[in-house]
Each structure stands twice: as structure tokens, then as C-alpha cells.
């Protein structure tokens, strides 16, 4: 497998990891007694403290950037999945709901107490969900565990809605001031924004889920296509592509065109459904709605237009130049030949590099190893994915990686540890946390780039230099792809009446602006529909771009002032995860990527770092790629990018972006619960009517005619039949 291919796979893995970090966040609240505080000073701290006349403890406290937090002493093998008992949580919700009706300040202490019960119970619930998820991924054939995961997700969605409703009532009650003082303004803002799901919303999101499912069903079909007398499917094309370049392009074009014809009508219908949801929610279109509601971003279309322009002007030429630079030096071949160590030996390899960034990172790294809160071994039946999830109840987290046996195992482990360290120190309660994915990815990608500075010590002279250049190239490519798909999706939702032909032409023209290579005579781009974000989680892809740029910002600063750059990263790793991206950038003093000159500020140090001139390039000659490539370099890059695009599109079909799965499960459970309540009300009304009729007959006895008796019997039989049918439907829903 080519190196570029593997980078694409890992981007999918990180997407899952980012999402899980955003959806399942850490808390400092614990219920268990088997906990300890891990905050011992390092030997270097002790030595420095002695020289300064301080105790080791005083020196450690002066350097501490992470809040005090308790962590379990349990090994992962001792953390059991038991399911969740909701008795205590439901009792707390019911009592708190009743207190909101009381007009007395005497109950305020009990209100606060019940809130903490709810908070603790959600930590337990969240941890059980995560333990179930881990076990499901450890053995994808375990259907019993998969069912348990689905049941637990459904239960959690109902409980979350009940808790959100009652906590919103507390904020609207006479207890508001004391309650806000207890939980903080930020947590109160999260709860203030809670809104129960209305029926029209459930209906539209139900249509959305159905269409997304249809998209995946169409992808799974992988129809057989005969081309020049030879039969092809996408799978056979990926496994054994034609060696002849002309034939390769012809087969690729036909296969992708075939898929495009099947799935693009689904997207057009999705755009209509989502835009309707956005308009009913008070927004112009779904792109605007998603930025505000789905992701809570603090930047929008105006800022993005500037970013698109700067990416095309600065990032695309730089990435092209760097790709040729790396190819000529044999970096790709060097990385492909590298075989990484496995298991504990892999952790041994990267531990010194983690410590070389900052010794304070070793606190969580040593804890991770001592308590075995990871699974990084290759096993049959293990899911081919990588992610980090918090174990909220225990004050720690868990790293899951299915190794590939390539250089990717090294940077994937470092990347996931960046997430782990942030989760390990995060004290935000799960019930009110709204972690920014943009920020979470800087915590992981930034650590990748800082450790890459020590790649020569870690991997040797040749492989180390190749590794460092590869990390930078991958980040630049991430920026390009993130901006491309975001700009494309904005246009799709702003102009929903475009035909399929117009959309595919737009995808090609926009691709050219971002440096994508298309063979002469190409009039449309079809492979873009293979990127599943566009169908399942639109408007998400830009998170890759903004986090990659800020990570590159940290790395570029390290070229001139490493200590300052490391200090910036360490403060970022301890930042409040509820803060939106631009607030974090402002607070830490990172470069504003949306400001004039911001991109150039990041790019120029990178070009010097890797050995060639400024990113400020003259306009290319006619027929030349941006960045003043020579004609020979241009031909080389065209061939290199040609195969890279095809391979990337192939792999994007393989991995599944799971960002919206939890939300879909919650909506489905909420819809089923609403249906169940409606059925119960209908049955209660029918029973009440029957009782009233029976009572009337008893108080005013009269002989019924045979015809009337027959009609009453038929009515009772119909009601019984409806009840049986409703029970069968509920049983079927439970099974599903």
C-alpha cells in the first residue's frame, strides 16, 4: 500500500477519534474510593528546585499547568462492563422536577445535591457506553456486545433528554442564581440552550437518516461493469488496477461515473431535506445551520472565503513543491521500507520523544502504560480503526489502535496520545461538555509535529528526515482537502437547484483551483461522491483544515523559538475544551488564520525548515503548476498526484465516518419513545371510553338489540387486535 494511501486511512481514523472525544468527554467527578492523585515531581524538577532553594513539591506546583484531578489505580483488566442501572438517575430527575414546582428557597441545597447525583450518574453511564464500545471494537464478531451497545445508546438518548429537560427547568426556576453559582456560567449556558425535539424535527431527521442509509446501500452494491470486454468492480479495481495508464484512467472514470449516477440523486434529496430543517430552525440554509447548531463554530462564511483564497494562493503551491521535494529525495520509498516495533516496543520508541517535547507529558504517558489503558496489538476480529475515548468515571481514557505494520503506527500512536493526555487532565462534567473538535485535533496534530522534530533520534537519519517531511506534507494536504470539500458543500446548500451535471462540473472546476489533477479533456469530476462526510456529516471537513493550520503554526514557531512553541502547546493541551476555536486562538496568541497574511506567517518558516525558499511565488507560466515547478517536475507531479487521487478515493470508500451515528441513534430512540407514549395515551382513552359506556349501561340497564350487541363485540375485537399489533411492533423495534 502506498504511503499516500495510508495517510488517507489514518485521516478517517482520526475523524472517529475526534468525534468520540467531542461526544464522550472527561469529568473529574468520581464515585469510587480506589483513586489517587498523580502529581509527583520529575528528577529534573527536583534538581532545579534544589538549586533554587525550593522543595521539589514547590517547583512542581510552579510548573503545573494541569488542574488537580483524581485517577483510578485500576488496571484496564479490572474495569468491568456491567450495563447501566438507571434507578438512581430516574429518582433524582423525578425529585428535581417536583422541586421546581415548589416556591421555597429552603430546597436549594437539595436541588444542588440532586444535580450532582445526575452528574455522577451520567459519568457512570458514559463510562459503561465507552467500555461497551471498546469491547465491540475488540471483537467485531461479538453480536451480543453489539446489541448491548445499541440498547445502551438508546437508553442514554432517552435519559439525556429527560435530564436536559429538568435541568433547563431548574435554570428557569427560583433556584437559578444558586444553581449557576454552583455549576458555573459556561455549564449554565450549555443547559440554557437545551431545546426538546419537536415532531417536525424528528420527521425531517428521520428522512435524513433514511437517505443516508440508502447512500451506503448503493455504495455496498458495487455493481459489475464490463469495460472493453473485461469485468470490473470497484473492489477489483482497487485490488488489481490496470498497469497501463490510459486504461487505468478509462476504467476509473467509468466506475466512478457509475457510482456517481446512483448516489448523487440521493444527495440532491438530502440537500432539500436539510435545507428545510434549517429554514424551519431560522437559518438561510443547512450550511449556516450546521456551523452554528451542529458544531458551534465561532467563524462563518465570510471568514471562510478568505481562507479558501489564501489556501489556493499559498498552501497549494507549497504542497506541490514539497511533494516533488520529497519524491526526488526518496522519502516515500524510505518510509515504505520502515517496519515499526509492535506493542510495548512501540511505546518504548516514542516515550523519549514525548518527554523531549515536555516532561510534564510523561505524567499521563507513564500512567497510561502502568495501568494498561490501551489496546495496540494486532488480532483477528479486531476492528480496523484508531480512536481515544475517555473513561469518565475513572478519571482516565483509553487508546484503541489496530496497527498497520507501517510507519503510520508511529504517528498514529503519538496522535492518539495527544487526545489521551487532554482527556486525562480534563475535568469538565460529561453532561454539560461541548468539546470543540477543532481544538481537540490541534492537541493531537500539534504533538505529531513537535515530536517529528526529534524524528532523526527516533528513526535514524534517513527515515527521520523522511518522516518529518511527510508529517508536514500530510498536514498541508489536509488543509487543501478540508477547504475544497467545505467550499463545495457551501455551494451545494446555497444553490440547491443545481442539476447533477452542474454539480459534477462544479466539483471539477473547484478541484482545479485547489491543484487537483485532471487528464486533458475531462469535463466533470465524479469521484468526490466517495467522500462520505458529504452525505453523512456535511460541513465537518473544515475542522481538519483549521486544526492542521494551527498545528503547523505551532511547528513553524518552534523553528525560531522552540521553548515558546512548546509552552504554547502545553497550555493548549490544558485548555478548557468548551471554548470555541477562535477564542482558544486568541487566548493562546496563535496566528489568526482568517486574518490577512496569517497563512503566509505559517508557511514561510515551513519552507525554510525543509530547505527551500519563500512561499511567495511568482505567477506560473502557462501550463505550469503553481509554485514555479520545472516542466520535468510538473510531469512527475502529475503522474504522482494522478495515482494518489485514485488511491485516496478508493480508501475513502472503505472507511466509514461514524460522526453522526450517536445522534441518529438518539433521534431514533426519541422517535420510538414518542410513538410509545402516543400509543399508551390512545389505549388509555379507549379504555376510559369503554369504562364510561359500561358504567352507563349499568346505571341505565336496558336490553340491547342483537344488532347493537354484535357492533359492541366487533369494536372490542378491533381494539384488542390493535393492541396486539402495537405490541408486536414494539417487540420488532426492540429486536432491531
- Closest to 298 measured CA to CA, from 591, 587, 584, 580: 580
Q: Rounded mean pLDDT of 713-717?
A: 54
- pLDDT digits 0-9 by tens, 6-35: 232 233 322 332 223 233 333 222 222 222
Residue 714: count of CB within 10 angstroms of its CB = 10
pTM value is: 0.74
Q: Express as a percent the part of the chain with pLDDT over 70.
A: 73
Q: Rounded mean pLDDT of 382-396?
A: 89
User: What pLDDT score was predicted for residue 239?
Assistant: 81
Report the SS3 class of residue 540: coil
- Closest to 79 measured CA to CA, from 321, 345, 375: 375
Instruction: Count H helices and E strands in the chain, helices first.
Output: 30, 7
Compute the mean pLDDT over every residue in the chain, rounded to the nearest whole number: 78
- Closest to 735 measured CA to CA, from 147, 143, 144, 152: 147
658: pLDDT confidence band, cut at 50, 70 and 90?
very low
User: What pLDDT score was predicted for residue 250?
Assistant: 85
Cα 626 vs. chain centroid, distance in angstroms?
33
- Closest to 512 measured CA to CA, from 503, 522, 502, 499: 522
Higher pLDDT, 623 or 731: 731
- pLDDT digits 0-9 by tens, 539-577: 988 988 999 999 999 999 998 899 999 999 999 999 877
Higher pLDDT, 319 or 219: 319
Query: DSSP label at 41?
Result: P
User: What pLDDT score was predicted for residue 491?
Assistant: 96
166: pLDDT confidence band, cut at 50, 70 and 90?
very high
For residues 551 and 555, give the distance between their C-alpha atoms in angstroms, rounded to a whole number: 6
Contact 264, 503 (CB under 8 A): yes
Look up residue 177 and give its three cell numbers.
442564581
> Which range in 145-159, 235-249, 295-309 is most confidently predicted, on average pLDDT?
295-309
DSSP for 249-285, written as a single string:
HHHHHHHHHHHHHHHHHHHHHHHHHHHHHHHHTT-SS
- pLDDT digits 0-9 by tens, 434-474: 677 889 899 999 999 999 989 999 999 999 999 999 999 99
- Would you say the C-alpha torsion 437, 438, 443, 449 has a positive or negative sign? positive
Phi/psi of residue 654, nearest 5 degrees = -75, -45
Higher pLDDT, 41 or 697: 697
User: What pLDDT score was predicted for residue 18?
Assistant: 29
Total residues found in the chain within this entry: 736
652: pLDDT confidence band, cut at 50, 70 and 90?
very low
Q: List the domain boundaries for the chain.
A: 74-196, 663-694
pLDDT exceeds cutoff 50 at 290 = yes
Query: DSSP label at 616?
Result: -
Contact 436, 580 (CB under 8 A): yes
Lowest mean pLDDT among 290-304, 324-338, 421-435, 506-520: 421-435
pLDDT exceeds cutoff 60 at 581 = yes
User: What pLDDT score was predicted for residue 196?
Assistant: 73
Q: Rounded mean pLDDT of 620-644?
A: 41
For residues 17 and 420, give the distance between their C-alpha atoms in angstroms, rounded to a whole number: 10
Higher pLDDT, 114 or 699: 114
For residues 428 and 587, give the distance between their C-alpha atoms in angstroms, rounded to a whole number: 19
Contact 163, 93 (CB under 8 A): yes
User: What pLDDT score was predicted for residue 622?
Assistant: 36
Give the residue carrying C-alpha cell 481514557: 397
- pLDDT digits 0-9 by tens, 470-514: 999 999 999 999 999 999 999 999 999 999 999 999 999 999 999
- pLDDT digits 0-9 by tens, 209-251: 889 888 888 887 877 888 888 888 888 888 888 888 888 888 8
pLDDT exceeds cutoff 80 at 41 = no
Cα 497 vs. chain centroid, distance in angstroms?
30
Give the residue carrying C-alpha cell 411492533: 729
Contact 116, 630 (CB under 8 A): no
- Closest to 448 measured CA to CA, from 486, 480, 479, 413: 413
pLDDT exceeds cutoff 70 at 538 = yes
Amino acid at each position: 500500500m502506498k504511503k499516500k494511501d495510508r495517510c488517507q486511512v489514518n485521516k478517517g481514523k482520526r475523524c472517529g477519534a475526534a468525534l468520540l472525544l467531542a461526544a464522550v468527554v472527561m469529568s473529574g467527578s468520581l464515585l469510587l474510593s480506589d483513586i489517587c492523585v498523580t502529581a509527583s515531581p520529575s528528577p529534573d524538577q527536583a534538581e532545579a528546585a534544589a538549586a533554587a532553594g525550593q522543595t521539589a513539591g514547590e517547583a512542581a506546583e510552579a510548573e503545573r499547568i494541569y488542574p488537580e484531578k483524581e485517577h483510578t489505580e485500576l488496571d484496564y483488566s479490572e474495569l468491568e462492563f456491567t450495563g447501566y442501572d438507571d434507578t438512581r438517575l430516574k429518582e433524582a430527575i423525578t425529585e428535581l422536577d417536583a422541586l421546581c414546582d415548589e416556591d421555597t428557597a429552603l430546597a436549594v441545597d437539595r436541588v444542588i445535591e440532586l444535580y450532582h447525583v445526575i452528574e455522577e450518574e451520567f459519568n457512570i453511564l458514559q463510562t459503561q457506553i465507552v467500555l461497551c464500545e471498546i469491547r465491540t471494537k475488540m471483537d467485531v464478531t461479538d453480536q451480543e456486545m453489539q446489541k448491548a451497545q445499541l440498547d445502551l445508546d438508546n437508553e442514554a438518548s432517552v435519559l439525556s433528554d429527560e435530564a436536559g429537560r429538568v435541568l433547563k427547568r431548574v435554570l428557569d426556576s427560583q433556584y437559578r442564581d444558586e444553581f449557576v453559582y454552583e455549576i458555573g456560567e459556561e455549564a449554565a449556558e450549555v443547559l440554557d440552550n437545551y431545546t426538546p425535539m419537536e415532531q417536525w424535527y424528528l420527521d425531517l431527521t428521520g428522512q435524513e437518516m433514511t437517505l443516508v442509509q440508502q447512500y451506503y446501500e448503493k455504495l455496498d452494491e458495487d455493481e459489475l461493469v464490463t469495460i472493453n470486454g473485461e469485468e470490473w468492480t470497484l473492489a477489483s479495481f482497487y485490488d488489481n488496477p490496470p498497469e497501463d495508464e490510459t486504461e487505468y484512467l478509462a476504467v476509473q472514470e467509468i466506475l466512478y461515473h457509475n457510482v456517481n449516477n446512483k448516489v448523487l440523486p440521493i444527495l440532491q434529496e438530502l440537500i432539500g431535506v436539510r435545507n428545510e430543517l434549517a429554514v424551519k430552525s431560522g437559518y438561510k440554509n443547512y450550511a449556516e445551520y450546521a456551523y452554528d447548531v451542529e458544531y458551534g463554530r465561532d467563524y462563518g462564511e465570510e471568514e471562510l472565503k478568505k481562507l479558501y483564497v489564501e489556501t489556493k494562493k499559498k498552501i497549494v503551491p507549497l504542497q506541490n513543491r514539497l511533494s516533488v521535494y520529497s519524491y526526488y529525495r526518496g522519502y516515500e520509498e524510505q518510509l515504505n521500507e520502515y517496519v515499526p516495533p509492535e506493542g510495548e516496543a512501540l511505546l518504548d520508541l516514542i516515550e523519549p520523544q514525548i518527554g523531549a517535547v515536555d516532561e510534564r507529558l510523561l505524567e499521563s504517558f507513564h500512567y497510561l502504560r502502568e495501568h494498561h489503558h490501551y489496546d495496540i496489538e494486532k488480532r483477528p476480529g479486531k476492528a480496523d480503526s484508531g480512536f481515544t475515548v475517555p473513561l469518565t468515571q475513572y478519571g482516565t481514557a483509553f487508546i484503541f489502535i489496530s496497527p498497520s505494520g507501517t510507519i503510520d503506527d508511529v504517528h498514529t500512536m503519538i496522535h492518539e496520545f495527544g487526545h489521551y493526555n487532554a482527556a486525562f487532565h480534563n475535568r469538565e462534567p460529561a453532561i454539560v461538555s461541548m468539546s470543540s473538535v477543532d481544538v481537540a485535533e490541534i492537541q493531537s496534530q500539534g504533538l505529531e509535529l513537535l515530536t517529528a522534530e526529534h524524528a532523526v533520534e527516533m528513526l535514524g537519519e534517513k527515515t527521520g528526515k523522511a518522516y518529518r517531511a511527510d508529517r508536514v506534507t500530510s498536514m498541508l494536504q489536509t488543509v487543501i482537502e478540508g477547504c475544497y470539500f467545505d467550499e463545495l458543500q457551501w455551494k451545494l446548500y446555497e444553490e440547491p437547484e443545481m442539476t447533477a451535471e452542474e454539480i459534477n462540473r462544479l466539483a471539477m472546476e473547484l478541484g482545479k483551483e485547489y491543484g487537483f489533477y485532471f487528464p486533458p479533456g475531462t469535463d466533470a469530476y465524479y469521484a468526490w461522491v466517495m467522500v462520505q462526510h458529504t452525505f453523512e456529516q456535511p460541513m465537518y471537513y473544515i475542522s481538519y483544515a483549521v486544526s492542521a493550520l494551527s498545528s503547523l503554526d505551532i511547528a513553524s514557531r518552534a523553528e525560531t523559538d522552540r521553548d515558546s512553541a512548546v509552552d504554547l502547546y502545553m497550555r493548549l493541551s490544558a485548555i478548557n475544551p468548551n471554548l470555541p476555536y477562535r477564542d482558544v486562538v486568541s487566548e493562546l496568541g496563535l496566528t489568526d488564520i482568517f486574518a490577512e497574511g496569517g497563512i503566509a506567517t505559517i508557511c514561510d518558516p515551513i519552507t525554510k525548515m525543509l530547505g527551500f525558499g519563500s512561499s511567495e511565488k511568482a505567477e506560473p507560466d502557462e501550463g505550469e503548476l503553481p509554485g514555479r515547478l520545472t516542466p520535468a517536475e510538473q510531469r512527475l507531479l502529475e503522474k504522482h498526484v494522478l495515482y494518489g487521487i485514485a488511491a485516496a478515493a478508493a480508501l475513502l470508500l472503505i472507511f466509514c465516518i461514524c460522526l453522526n451515528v450517536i445522534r441518529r441513534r438518539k433521534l431514533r430512540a426519541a422517535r420510538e419513545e414518542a410513538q410509545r407514549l402516543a400509543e399508551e395515551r390512545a389505549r388509555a382513552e379507549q379504555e376510559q371510553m369503554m369504562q364510561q359506556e359500561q358504567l352507563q349501561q349499568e346505571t341505565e340497564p336496558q336490553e340491547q338489540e342483537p344488532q347493537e350487541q354484535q357492533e359492541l363485540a366487533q369494536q372490542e375485537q378491533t381494539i384488542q387486535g390493535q393492541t396486539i399489533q402495537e405490541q408486536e411492533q414494539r417487540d420488532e423495534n426492540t429486536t432491531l
